[in-house]
Amino acid sequence: MGLTPLNEIAPLLPRDAALAVDALRACGDVFIEEEILTAATMLQEALDGEYTALAAIVEGEFAGYCLAGRTPFTVSTWHLYWLCVHPRFHRCGVARALQSALEKTARDSGCERIVVETGGRKAYEPARRFYTAAGYQQCGRIEDYYHPGDACVFYCKLLS
């Protein structure tokens, strides 16, 4: 995806928060309601400076976002808490662009590794494939974590 002024990754703005929640809902059965409510709270917290949140704008339209921050009690580890691209923009390189901008921001803030927790069910297969393609190593898996039959899969990427 070529980035132009109308096609960019930028810090998330207040007007993006509701669009980010719309994108989470548009992903169908990926996120449960409790997750969407938590994500909405964390979007507000990001706007208050507690997390780093980046938005992808494609031809003037909000296309997706990521939200990350230093993992509590660590010096140089960050968690990528949320990554969501509206289905209208899937497979256009939006997540790749968000990820790459996030890694730069994190590295510039002293981050040495990014950790992600994602789901093991089928709805999360695009996410697992994305993280693998983006250079994340699977580093753990807990069966039945979210509910019976739904594992948590852990990934980590070392930033050089």
Q: Given the rule CB under 6 A, which residues bind ligand COA?
A: 27, 30, 83-85, 90-96, 118, 124, 126-127, 129-130, 133
Phi/psi for 142 (5° steps) reads -115, 115
Residue 113 and residue 154: Cα distance in Å, rounded?
13
Q: Of the two residues 38 and 126, which places its CB atom closer to ligand COA in the complex?
A: 126
Q: Of the two residues 32 and 110, which places its CB atom closer to ligand COA in the complex?
A: 32
> The tokens 């949140």 sit on which residue?
53
Q: Of the two residues 2 and 75, which places its CB atom closer to ligand COA in the complex?
A: 2
> CB 49 → ligand COA: shortest distance, Å?
23
> CB 123 → ligand COA: shortest distance, Å?
7
* Burial bucket for residue 94 (CB in 10 Å: 0-12, 13-18, 19+): buried
Contact indicator for 140, 103 with CB cutoff of 8 Å: no
> CB 73 → ligand COA: shortest distance, Å?
22
> CB 37 → ligand COA: shortest distance, Å?
16
> The tokens 């990427």 sit on which residue?
157
Contact indicator for 136, 118 with CB cutoff of 8 Å: no
Q: Of the two residues 12 and 83, which places its CB atom closer to ligand COA in the complex?
A: 83
3-state secondary structure (DSSP) of residue 27? coil
**Tokens describing residue 159:** 């930033």
Q: Of the two residues 110 and 132, which places its CB atom closer to ligand COA in the complex?
A: 132
> CB 10 → ligand COA: shortest distance, Å?
16
